[in-house]
Structure 1
Amino acid sequence: MTALARRLRQPIPGAQPRLRFEMPPEHEDDVAAAEGGPDTRFGAPGPRMSSQHPLYVGFMGTVGVGIALLVYWIGSNTTQLILWIVTALFIALGLEPVVRWLEGKNVPRAAGIFVSVATLTVGVASFFATLIPTIVQQVTQIVQQAPRWIQEFIDSDFFRTVDSQFGVRDRITQEVEKFVNNPEAMGGIFGGVVGFGTTVANGLFGALIVLVLSLYFLAAMPSMKKWGYRLAPRSRRARVAALSEEITGSVGNYVIGQAVVALVNATFAFIVMTIAGVPFAVLLAFVVALLAFIPLVGGVIAGLIVTLIALTAGWQTALAYAVCYFAYLQFEAYFISPRIMQKAVAVPGAVAVISVIAGGSLLGVLGALIAIPTAAAIMLLVKEIFIARQDKH
């Protein structure tokens, strides 16, 4: 080894290793018992108060109620943060199988995390990069064509007949003048614009927070699991670890499988819309992909929305698209989805529908997305713990 290499390997003078929060040894009490019997580092234990003592019961009951109220207050005042955390954890669990697969290909975990998150970020950015210009273009066309539509309506025989009987033109002129001269109405418009800008800013901030949390969750996933398993009693730790790995693996496979199904669904819808001549095909394809993430009902809702928009191009176009797309949904349900989701969770249809409705009612789109993995995790716990215990009696 050269002198330069030896010099580089020496620590910097005065440098200290970074402090890390480490777990205590797993068999610390066994070591203490082997060395000198019971652990007496904190003195001999004194007599304990009976758990049936009125003072003990009253005190612990009061503490329990206080903790419950504190948890409720914290939860009610940090709802947005909790949603961000749940979203980031859901994304991290979905990307974890990809990171593991890359690790199996001798890719370092840090590089696998970077590749996975970068791919997801590029996909989301592409969605908004396509969505926002399309919306601006369509809104601009509507604004440009609106005066012509209004003038054609005013010149129509129907409007002239109604105006001659009820004086609609004079009434509209009065209302427009009243609205323009009303400071509160104009302030409401300004407030709406400001509110829209605030919503956009909050959305971008939330997306950044979710992205950062997803990175941290992915990087710390092995440590988080290890810490979680240590919270369980040692005698049940192996069983808890096995159940947790099965649940997290099923959730990750479900997220990836649902993403692939949504991508195939949106690609087919875009091809059919392009051939049939449905307007706004690119924008509607993104809408189909987003709705296809919602299991069971998402594809049906997407089909109905696109069919209604296709009516603007003619009933023949709408009928052709509806026949092709809903036929594809049947093909997807019996051939594509079972093969893609064969390693994911399996939930009965009735439970899945109820879970999606309940999750959507509680947490909106996010609740509908995580409803089926949550239901599958609950069913697995019931099967492996409660039913297994009942079978022993």
Structure 2
Amino acid sequence: MTAYLCARIHWRPHLNADLEPAAFPSRQFRETRKHIVFTIALLVLLGVFWTIRHVLGIVYLSGLFAVVLNPIVTKIGKIRIREKHLPKAAAVTVLVVVLFTAITLFFWIGMPPVVRDFRNFLNDLPSRIPTLISKLHKVPMADKIGMNDLNNQITGSLGHFASYVVSSLPTWAEHLLDILTAVILTVYFILEGEEVYKFFLSLVIPKSRVRLANTLLIAEERVSRWLLGQLLLMACVAAYSIIAFRIINVRYYILLGLMMGLTNIIPVAGNLVTILLVALIAAADSWTKCGLVFAAYAIYVQFENAFLTPRIMKSSVDLMGVSVLIALLCGTAISGIPGALIAVPTAAVIVVFADEYLVQHEDPERLSVLD
């Protein structure tokens, strides 16, 4: 009996040692399984996001516009009527009515001349190209760049562009629906944005929450100022260009002035490309007009760099032209026109976060000691 009990005592540890790995997986196995499940879940989530990327783009665009317009709503809410401030809903209503009225007036008054100039440009281009090419032949080294084939290339590109405009007309109806959806979401984000902001901020661990909150506040302020400032600069260059081109008597001056304003979203490069197009159109009439176009553009560049930019764009995000161009290319490739709309504000947000979390700022006191 004693021998039997001793045998049982010595046998149990071996039995438990054999059964324990099967009943309780090792820590390494559990960690590996956790990583595999997390990777699969992440891939599935990314696949879902990619499938609904168009909807996410509209939501993200609405959020960005809400960030930009929220300071304006705050200022409207400070208006006193009978010693009472306007409620937020009333301030949003006033803003929507003002914006809707401005857009309606623009399409009612401003768009017909632009459409007329665009139609005249398409009709006149085939007949004006030979005149322009004959003048360019007089420029030294013009024969070296294949001026004889330029007429055929421009005509072919014009045909492709016209067919693209006609074929893309049905998609513009979808874009109008997207714009209406974005407007509605923007209103909701302005009204309920604070609750959404607090909810997502609560998902961050408390240790990093304060720094993230401060960074988001800085991003909101700087991106809002950058967008409003950039829109103001675009309006300034458009108004100046329309007036200057009209004085110089450049054809299609309203269309070209509007193009100058739109392309100003890309600093330096955007206006530089457009002014070359304006100069070519002016050169078809006379070289004097071409020279006056460059002179008018040079005057505006000096005025913008010396006066407008330091006052309008101060305390905002400093985006390089190449950053804006790359952002526009990436946004257009991902989601077309909505992607292009959200590309530049996204780049501005990335710059703010990179400045906070990635850039290694030097300590001024340490630099003074080293000096």
User: Does TM, scored on the shorter chain, surpass 0.5?
Assistant: yes
Contact 1:356–1:367 (CA under 8 A) maintained in structure 2:
no
Tell me if 1:80 matches 2:60. no
Q: CA deviation at 1:139?
A: 6.3
SS of 2:352's equivalent in the other structure is helix
- Alpha-carbon distance in structure 2 between the residues aligned to 1:211 and 1:51: 54
Q: CA deviation at 1:325?
A: 1.5
- Alpha-carbon distance in structure 2 between the residues aligned to 1:51 and 1:131: 72
SS of 1:110's equivalent in the other structure is helix
Tell me if 1:291 matches 2:234. no
- Alpha-carbon distance in structure 1 between the residues aligned to 2:344 and 2:175: 19
Contact 1:88–1:211 (CA under 8 A) maintained in structure 2:
yes
Tell me if 1:378 matches 2:350. no
SS of 1:220's equivalent in the other structure is helix
Deviates more, 1:50-59 or 1:331-340: 50-59
RMSD: 3.6
Judged with a 3 Å threshold, the aligned counterparts in structure 2 of structure 1 residues 200 and 312 are, in CA distance, closer, same or farther, namely farther
Matched ranges for 1:311-326 at <5 A: 311-326=283-298
Aligned residues: 298
Larger relative contact order (CA 8 Å, sep ≥ 6): 2
**Which residue matches 1:262?**
234
- Alpha-carbon distance in structure 1 between the residues aligned to 2:285 and 2:343: 32
Judged with a 3 Å threshold, the aligned counterparts in structure 2 of structure 1 residues 201 and 293 are, in CA distance, closer, same or farther, namely same
Contact 2:66–2:186 (CA under 8 A) maintained in structure 1:
yes
Query: Which among 189, 203, 224 is matched to residue 175 of structure 2?
Result: 203
Tell me if 1:239 matches 2:218. no
Tell me if 1:359 matches 2:323. no
Tell me if 1:275 matches 2:250. no
Judged with a 3 Å threshold, the aligned counterparts in structure 2 of structure 1 residues 312 and 65 are, in CA distance, closer, same or farther, namely same
Deviations 1:321-379 (A, max 9, x none): 221113312321232111111131245xxxx2342232122103436522551343123
Judged with a 3 Å threshold, the aligned counterparts in structure 2 of structure 1 residues 206 and 246 are, in CA distance, closer, same or farther, namely same
Matched ranges for 1:124-163 at <5 A: 124-129=103-108, 133-134=112-113, 136-138=115-117
Judged with a 3 Å threshold, the aligned counterparts in structure 2 of structure 1 residues 81 and 92 are, in CA distance, closer, same or farther, namely same
- Alpha-carbon distance in structure 2 between the residues aligned to 1:328 and 1:56: 66
Greater than 6 Å deviation, 4+ residue runs: 49-52, 142-147, 191-194
**Which residue matches 1:114?**
93
SS of 1:362's equivalent in the other structure is helix
- Alpha-carbon distance in structure 2 between the residues aligned to 1:135 and 1:373: 31
- Alpha-carbon distance in structure 1 between the residues aligned to 2:273 and 2:346: 18
Deviates more, 1:217-226 or 1:75-84: 75-84
**Which residue matches 2:37?**
63
Aligned AA (2:216): S
Query: Which among 85, 89, 93 is matched to residue 63 of structure 2?
Result: 89
Q: CA deviation at 1:388?
A: 9.5
Deviations 1:228-274 (A, max 9, x none): 32222334433332221111111111111111111111111111011
Calculate the TM-score normalised by the size of structure 2.
0.68
- Alpha-carbon distance in structure 1 between the residues aligned to 2:115 and 2:239: 23
Judged with a 3 Å threshold, the aligned counterparts in structure 2 of structure 1 residues 140 and 255 are, in CA distance, closer, same or farther, namely closer
Contact 1:357–1:368 (CA under 8 A) maintained in structure 2:
no
Q: CA deviation at 1:200?
A: 1.9
Q: 1 or 2, which has the higher helix percentage?
A: 2
- Alpha-carbon distance in structure 2 between the residues aligned to 1:230 and 1:258: 33
Q: CA deviation at 1:97?
A: 1.8
Deviations 1:197-255 (A, max 9, x none): 31221121121122112212222222222223222233443333222111111111111
Judged with a 3 Å threshold, the aligned counterparts in structure 2 of structure 1 residues 250 and 134 are, in CA distance, closer, same or farther, namely same
SS of 2:316's equivalent in the other structure is coil
Deviations 1:161-196 (A, max 9, x none): xxxxxxxxxxxxxxxxxxxxxxxxxxxxxx979843
Q: CA deviation at 1:279?
A: 1.9
Judged with a 3 Å threshold, the aligned counterparts in structure 2 of structure 1 residues 358 and 222 are, in CA distance, closer, same or farther, namely same
**Which residue matches 1:339?**
311
Aligned AA (1:255): L
Structure 2: gaps (5+ residues): 1-22, 80-84, 132-162, 333-339, 366-371
Judged with a 3 Å threshold, the aligned counterparts in structure 2 of structure 1 residues 224 and 313 are, in CA distance, closer, same or farther, namely farther
Q: CA deviation at 1:141?
A: 5.0
- Alpha-carbon distance in structure 1 between the residues aligned to 2:318 and 2:362: 19
Query: Which among 76, 82, 88 is matched to residue 102 of structure 1?
Result: 76
